[in-house]
Structure 1
Amino acid sequence: MASYLDAGALVTSGIVLGGSYTEVLALDAGTVGVLLGLQTLMFALGALCGGRLGDLFGRRRVFTLSLLLYAAGIALLIVASPLWLLHVGVVAVGLAIGADLAASLALINEESPDGHKGKMVIFSNILWIGGIVVAMGLSAAVGSWGVLGGRIMFAHLLVVAIVVLVLRFALGESAEWMAARRAADAPGEPAGIQFSRAGQLFRAPVVFSVVALGLYYATWNLGASTMGSFGTFLWTNLTGGGVAEYSRLSLLGLPVGFLGGLVFMRVVDRPARYAWFAGGSALILVAWALPALLGANRFTLVAVLLLSGLGNAFCGEGIYKVWSQELIPTLLRTTAGGLTIAFARVVAALAAFVTPAIALADPALLFWLLFAFTAVANAIGLLWVPRLPKARDLEDVPVVARLQREPPPPTADPDGAGDQNR
């Protein structure tokens, strides 16, 4: 449900702040860009801090406390007036969803059985789509109601957050994390990546996985973030359509992505994953090429929704989440997840400050930029990531290095034959 709530908050903020609240609260394009960019920056900061805290103090504590902050921030966004409450609300929600994501993904992965870990992470991503579907559905129903409609959309998130918070108190801590923590705290030099060594993230070979994950997620996410945060803005300003109309059209692509995610769950833990990833990546490129070549109109923007909805089921957010669990050792997992999420969100936040202006001045340029960044992401995912070592291999790197440094044990054999035999 972390994924459901996080996606719901991001999409609802984009719809409400970019549409439902705009006229009554006199939000111009610059203010909308600042609010959504600020939320994204706080997402980054929350992921960075929450990720490290998840490795230090456990996954459960982080995502329970983050949900309390989430509920408080959503409550402020419901109130909405005066304007400064919107700023405080987006800060609180951004921090909460950032801290929540890395810790919850790690718990899902670590508590899933071998051979099904990728499947369960992808299932969490399907719930991410579920959060988008419900937000879009509510917008289709109440998006034309102005401030009242926006408050209803945020109220839905508050109710779900309270229910999930109550349920979360019944969850236990990650057994895998607790075992790794005990091993790291044991007397002597523990096996694997050590508990206190966050600096290991910036040393070979772990650093290569961190850089690849960060670059892939950041470059892919620019397109997803643009449509998630500014889809309503693009539709209303470039095509002359309405908020509720865009929300209804958006629902066309989401069931396609949902069904695609169910298919990907069946193959994500198998070698066939690579071919499905390549196909999904190609669809995303086609999606951005259409408005770049044919212009941003109703037909091309609907095509973007449909093609990206299907393509993203096999690449992008979902596969990043799987890789972030597979490639990073246990006691660095949420730290690395928070770091790469933070990097991607900072890039998206910087882009958010100028996206409305670029869209109004030169729509074709905006979509060509998204096409180029997606091409970079595809190259990283297809050519670099498959060459990276898995976490289970990295866990033993410090041990191997230590054994290589140590001299052979003393022996009573004067001619050294015993050492040779060993």
Structure 2
Amino acid sequence: MSTKPKVTGWKATIAVAMSNYIEAGSIIALATSLGFWQEYFGFSNLIIGLVAAISANAFGAAVGALLGGWAGDRFGRKFIYTYDLVVYMLGTLLVVFATHPAMLLTGVVLTGIAVGAGVPVAWTYIAEEAPATDRAKHVGSAQLAWSLGPALVFLFATLVVPLGLLGSRIIFAHLFVVAFITWWVRRGLGESNTWKKSNEERLATEASTGIKRRNYRELLLNKNNVKALLFLTGVYALWNLVAGQMGIFMPRVYESAGVESGTQQNLLQVLLWTCTVAATYFGFMKFADRMSRRKLYVIGAILGIAAWILLVFANITMPMLILFAVLWGVSAGIGAQAFYALWAAEMFATKYRASAQGVLFFVARILVGVLSYWFPTMLAEQGVAFVGVIMIALLVAAMIIGWIGAPNTSGRTLEEIEAERYGAAPGEAPQATAQQTTADRQ
């Protein structure tokens, strides 16, 4: 006999969204500690790039996403958010008590795999359980949690700067505590109703045909899926190449721009992420269900491009850096990641929705990892202007792709969107009437 879930509604959304706080917090905790670890272990810039590349910011998360996406579709959303944080907590403990490079590297990899497995499934679960008319608001809560992570961790890092590496260990310890509380609350979550229905259909089909479903094979052989994967890779992976370097290397960018104080670097990031929090809540969560998503996406993209143009071509002063932080912060709140989380849940069928997000997250984080390996060296040898031009080009490309390919999905149920994209299930008529009522919003 099944038990009724104890955690439902917005409480469930928030509990699952905390994956994003933990992910972003892990990236920033590592970002603010890289200098201390470099000094403690005597790492070169290339080794620091390797640490960043295998972390939750890149390769670690990439591997976790590929595994977690498949497992989330095969065994259920609850399977992932029951076990991923156990692995995460083990990883953070290794970092907290690291006295040898192997302990640090193992801890960084484990935390990366855990958040990689958890975040795509979290976006999937939230979208599946959200009301159709408020889906962006609920998905936006994950973006809100993702923004709160850096805002609070950078503030925390500012307060513990005098403690040096001990302060960084304390920050990772706080992430362990947050992960434990989140894991405890999630024990009361139920399974996604959308997944349960889809899984029942899968089991019935496999029983009648004797053919086991191969999620990634089916995903990659469907033309609609391939088009959606390419579109979302353009939207998210290109933007994330920029955001990924900023998340973990932005203090070094500020240092290269003349801001040598660690406290000032962290406070600039606190401002940036506070603006992201505000823009997510007052921008994306308030308007993405109510206005043209294409327009909102382009507004966010333009602000991000403007921020980097300032950093590259303007005379760098503290007021300019403050303006940069505000522009990018607002851009990130209403920009590519929030829309990616929403569109990735909407554009794929339930049976491989999490797998698709796993593939997308994998590709995005692999690309970030490759660039992360070389980024510290390029920044040190070529300067801010050189890497800045690369960042601008990536952001412009992501903006154009999102503007051209933004789907018309606002206000429609996932079942209606799936019926349109894949065709109605046998014996059902395509549901087109409700779809037409929101076309003018796009």
Deviation per CA, 1:219-240, whole angstroms, max 9, x where unpaired? 0011111111101122234414
Aligned to 2:31: 14
Structure 1 residues 326 and 187, CA, compared in 2 at 3 Å: closer, same or farther?
closer
Q: How far, CA to CA, are the matches of 2:88 and 2:147 in structure 1?
A: 19
Which secondary structure does the structure 2 equivalent of 1:172 belong to? coil
Which secondary structure does the structure 1 equivalent of 2:369 belong to? helix
Are 1:312 and 2:315 an aligned pair? no
| Unpaired stretches in structure 2, ≥5 consecutive residues | 1-17, 428-442
**Would you say the 8 A contact 2:152–2:270 is kept in 1?**
no
Q: How far, CA to CA, are the matches of 1:143 and 1:337 in structure 2?
A: 37
**Would you say the 8 A contact 2:346–2:409 is kept in 1?**
no
The two structures have a TM-score, normalised by structure 2, of 0.85
Taking the TM superposition and a 5 Å limit, the aligned residue runs for 1:394-405 are 394-395=418-419
Deviation per CA, 1:240-296, whole angstroms, max 9, x where unpaired? 412222111211122222121112212212343322221111101111111221366
Taking the TM superposition and a 5 Å limit, the aligned residue runs for 1:7-406 are 7-17=24-34, 19-39=35-55, 40-187=58-205, 196-202=214-220, 203-263=222-282, 264-294=284-314, 298-362=318-382, 363-386=384-407, 392-395=416-419
Structure 1 residues 361 and 7, CA, compared in 2 at 3 Å: closer, same or farther?
same
| Unpaired stretches in structure 1, ≥5 consecutive residues | 404-422
**Would you say the 8 A contact 2:346–2:417 is kept in 1?**
no
Q: CA RMSD in A?
A: 2.3
**Would you say the 8 A contact 1:144–1:243 is kept in 2?**
no
The two structures have a TM-score, normalised by structure 1, of 0.89
Q: How far, CA to CA, are the matches of 1:238 and 1:31 in structure 2?
A: 23
Q: How far, CA to CA, are the matches of 2:216 and 2:274 in structure 1?
A: 40
Q: How far, CA to CA, are the matches of 2:153 and 2:124 in structure 1?
A: 26
Structure 1 residues 37 and 187, CA, compared in 2 at 3 Å: closer, same or farther?
closer
Query: What one-letter code is carried by the residue in structure 2 that aligns with 1:53?
Result: A
Q: How far, CA to CA, are the matches of 1:397 and 1:276 in structure 2?
A: 24
Structure 1 residues 222 and 297, CA, compared in 2 at 3 Å: closer, same or farther?
farther
Percent identity between the aligned chains?
A: 26
Q: How far, CA to CA, are the matches of 1:111 and 1:51 in structure 2?
A: 17
Query: What one-letter code is carried by the residue in structure 2 that aligns with 1:38?
Result: I
Q: How far, CA to CA, are the matches of 1:401 and 1:170 in structure 2?
A: 33
Q: How far, CA to CA, are the matches of 2:41 and 2:303 in structure 1?
A: 38
Query: What one-letter code is carried by the residue in structure 1 that aligns with 2:21?
Result: Y
Structure 1 residues 298 and 227, CA, compared in 2 at 3 Å: closer, same or farther?
farther
Structure 1 residues 275 and 82, CA, compared in 2 at 3 Å: closer, same or farther?
same
Aligned to 1:415: none
Structure 1 residues 274 and 200, CA, compared in 2 at 3 Å: closer, same or farther?
same
User: What is the CA-CA distance between 1:119 and the residue it aligns to?
Assistant: 1.0
Number of matched pairs: 399
Which secondary structure does the structure 1 equivalent of 2:156 belong to? helix
